[in-house]
Amino acid sequence: MQNRKVKLAILVASINDNASEHAFIPVMPEPSFYRALSIAGEQLGMDVYVVTAEDFQQHTESLVGYRLENEHFAKQNVPFPDIIYDRCFFTQANQRINCRRMLSSLAQVKPYQLLNGKLPGKLDVYEALKEDRMLSRHLPLTLPMQRTQQLLELADRFRGGIILKPSSGMQGRGIILVKRSPFEQSLLIKGRNRRNHSFSLSFKEDLAFERWIHRFISGTSYLIQPYLELSGNDNKPFDLRVLIQKDEKSRWSISGAAVRTGQAGSLTSNLHGGGGAVPAAKLLSAKFGESKSERLLEMIHTISKQTAERLESKFGRFAELGLDYGIDQSGRIWLLEANSKPGRSSFRIISDHEAERLSIERPLLYARMLSRRLSPSFVANEFANGRRHHSSSDNQLRPFNVQEVHR
């Protein structure tokens, strides 16, 4: 009997149809990634297409999507998916609501599996990882910001300064460094605004700073960490991104690692802030020597696998995670952030074709395994605490994490 073709829908927050003289051209958030997934999916005998929350018509129980045909994405009717790959990056509050409503409504028509789980806020992730003795040694102190006076106290405590970052932020937006000047006792501020533009300020009076920070934060939940000196020999900040993914046998494997560098004197090293990328071994060897570089990368691989396993045990099944590391001047490894919707453009920039290939193929192979291995009736957990469970027949909104069944 011929194997049934697995249907995988890539769910995105929005797609704009731009009209040209000849056709409507869909504008997607990650077109090259979706194109690569579509091509690789076809080679693996899978039906891959892109959808948005607005593409599901509940009254007619039909779904419209975008398939790659003749090098272009064409809008057409598509079947209901077996697997949904959530690549939604929300820019408006209603997009998140529409997405969850669509997932809930679609589940009533045809059961499906979500390929990847969803991490909660950064503080919850920090608390979960801190419980692991080995991982706790690689976590910078992280505190929720509760009052402006707290910032002043911590700025005086940590002479190198403190970092403020949104608890659910992305791409370096809204991150700032607060540092007390050792000479004038003024407060020096450096960071990126909501539009990801760099800025710097100084305040001679604490009261003026308190007024400014209150306006800057504007009700957003923020976290505080000690500032870590994470720059290379060229004064450019850098971090190391590891992409860890499940393979076709549901085993965690490192698909690739790349160092992302920022501009000299900048606070962040993400690509959206004007940074670049270099091979991890190349930069680490130049900074720490070849022998120590190899030991650092081996340790980072060990930490990455333990982190993935720990996050799964707390928040449910994942298919892939992006883990960001900092390495300070002494060579100490710091786990800075975990991301359940990781990018992979760094591998293309550094021409790591093997990592780029694995980053595309592994989600597809894992999706194919999931569709054959899991029954439509499944158990899902609610990522907020990892304890509350629902079945697919629940009337509540379908949560984002699906507990994997191991056989």
Work out the pLDDT band at 133, boundaries 50, 70, 90. Answer: very high
Q: What per-residue confidence (pLDDT) applies to 379?
A: 37
What's the pTM value of the predicted model, to 2 decimals? 0.86
pLDDT digits (tens, 9 = 90+) for 295-317: 999 999 999 999 999 999 999 99
- The whole-number average pLDDT for the span 259-265 is 77
Q: Quick: pLDDT tens for 95-112.
A: 999 999 999 999 999 999
As a three-state string, the secondary structure of the chain is CCCCCEEEEEEECCCEEEECCCCEEEECCCHHHHHHHHHHHHHCCEEEEEEEHHHEECCCCEEEEEEEECCEEEEEEECCCCEEEECCCCCCHHHHHHHHHHHHHHHHHCCCEECCCCCCCHHHHHHHHHCCHHHHCCCCCCEECCCHHHHHHHHHHCCCCEEEEECCCCCCCCCEEEEECCCCCCEEEEEECCCCCEEEEEECCHHHHHHHHHHHHCCCCEEEEECCCCECCCCCEEEEEEEEEECCCCCEEEEEEEEEECCCCCCCCCHHHCCEEEEHHHHHHHHHCHHHHHHHHHHHHHHHHHHHHHHHHHHCCCCEEEEEEEECCCCCEEEEEEECCCCCHHHHHCCCHHHHHHHHHHHHHHHHHHHHHCCCCCEEECCCCCCCEEECCCCCCCCCEECCCCC
Q: Which band of pLDDT confidence, cut at 50, 70 and 90, is reported for residue 264?
A: low
The whole-angstrom separation of Cα 129 and Cα 10 is: 29
Q: What is the pLDDT of residue 376?
A: 45
With a cut of 90, say whether residue 252 has pLDDT above it: yes
Counting residues of the chain whose pLDDT is more than 70, the rounded percentage is 84
Predicted confidence (pLDDT) at residue 388 exceeds the cutoff of 70:
no
pLDDT tens string 174-227: 899 999 988 778 999 998 887 878 899 999 999 999 999 999 998 889 999 999
Residue 395 CB neighbour total at 10 angstroms: 7
The residues, ordered by sequence, that sit 6+ positions from 232 with a Cβ below 8 Å of its Cβ are 238, 261, 283, 286, 287
Whether residue 271 has pLDDT greater than 60: no
Q: What is the mean pLDDT of residues 47-68?
A: 93
Beta strand 320-327 pairing with 333-339:
antiparallel
Indicate the range of 12-26, 99-113, 240-254, 378-392 predicted with least confidence.
378-392
pLDDT at residue 111 in the model = 93
Is residue 259 scored above 90 in pLDDT? yes
Alpha-carbon dihedral sign for residues 380, 385, 387, 389? negative
pLDDT (mean) for 243-257: 97
For residues 269 and 315, the model is more confident at 315
pLDDT band at 384 (very low <50, low <70, confident <90, very high): very low
Angle at 257 between CA 256 and CA 258, to 5 degrees: 130
Q: Who has greater pLDDT, 3 or 77?
A: 77
The pLDDT value recorded for residue 129 is 98
CATH number of 6-110: 3.40.50
User: pLDDT band for position 19 (50/70/90)?
Assistant: low
pLDDT above 90 covers a percentage of the chain that reads 68
Check whether domain 122-139+230-369 has CATH 3.30.470.20, yes or no: yes
| Residue with the larger pLDDT of the pair 233 and 76 | 76
Decide if pLDDT at 393 tops 60. no
pLDDT at residue number 112: 95
Please tell me the predicted confidence (pLDDT) of residue 403: 33
Mean pLDDT for the chain overall:
86
